[in-house]
Structure 1
Amino acid sequence: MNTPGTDMRNVILLAALLLAGCTITKNPEVVGGNKLTGMVRLGFNDPALFNAKADPYLAQGTATRQCQEWGFATAENYGQPIKTCSVISGTQCLNESVILEYQCRGFAVPQNAGW
């Protein structure tokens, strides 16, 4: 026999389990970098109960555009994502900040170089 509220608890538990497996795609934005060393940092947030992933093509394109603004030809992924808990409640991390690093490579030849 179900007690009052048991059905609601089951629904909430089921919803939490379903959300825990959700993967969402994020479009990381430039959050920093260093023109001198050619290092671009992209970032996005990963909320609790979600599994956020960056779209690798969008991230590569964003990093390459930043590198090209600095005079480089392209960007290559550098290292592993850096994850830092940005919102904590008790012992639970409610939001992770994810940083992706890219190394600028090569030199872009300006179109008006007169070659």
Structure 2
Amino acid sequence: MLRTASIAVILSVFFSGCAVTKVPQPTGGSKADGTVHLSYEYGSFEQPTVDEEAALRKAQQRCQAWGYDDADAFGGAVEQCQQSNQYGCTRYFVTMTYQCMD
């Protein structure tokens, strides 16, 4: 009985995933359009939490390097499957867009 309970606990932890903090990194954008793309990856068993403050700082740094004063998040993100198997997607790539502002 105890062994069955232990296995159930282990399986529930395994399938619930691990919470991980992600800091998106600059992956593109356009100086002329004043947009910055920040991205991060995560696996199917991870539960990502985005460090929004760090992401905004990175976008602001990129915008300031281009001569803009500040940056603001557009809101939302685009998530793409990067790797899959017979059970579905196993690796995701997420891109967030920020607008540079004067």
Sort the TM-score into its range (normalised by shorter chain): 0.7 to 0.9
TM-score normalised to structure 1 length:
0.77
Q: Which residue of structure 2 lines up, in the alignment, with residue 88 of structure 1?
A: 84
- Secondary structure at 2:53 match in 1: helix
Per-residue deviation at 1:79?
3.1
- Structure 1 residue 100 corresponds to structure 2 residue 92: no
Residue number among 46, 69, 75 corresponding to 2:71 in the alignment: 75
- Secondary structure at 1:32 match in 2: strand
Aligned letter for 2:65?
Answer: E
Deviations 1:59-108 (A, max 9, x none): 000000000000000100013111011111124111110101000000xx
Aligned letter for 1:68?
Answer: Q
Distance in 1 between the 2:83 and 2:5 partners?
31
Contiguous gaps of at least 5 residues in structure 1? 107-115
Aligned letter for 2:55?
Answer: A
Name the % identity. Answer: 30
- Give the alignment's Cα RMSD to 1 decimal: 2.2
Q: Which residue of structure 2 lines up, in the alignment, with residue 16 of structure 1?
A: 14
Deviations 1:12-63 (A, max 9, x none): 523323x42x321111100000000000000000211111122010000000
Aligned letter for 1:16?
Answer: F
Distance in 2 between the 1:31 and 1:81 partners?
14
Per-residue deviation at 1:11?
5.9
Moved more, 7-16 or 54-63: 7-16
Contiguous gaps of at least 5 residues in structure 2? none
TM-score normalised to structure 2 length:
0.86
Q: Which residue of structure 1 lines up, in the alignment, with residue 54 of structure 2?
A: 58
Higher relative contact order (CA 8 A, sep 6+): 2
Aligned letter for 1:15?
Answer: V
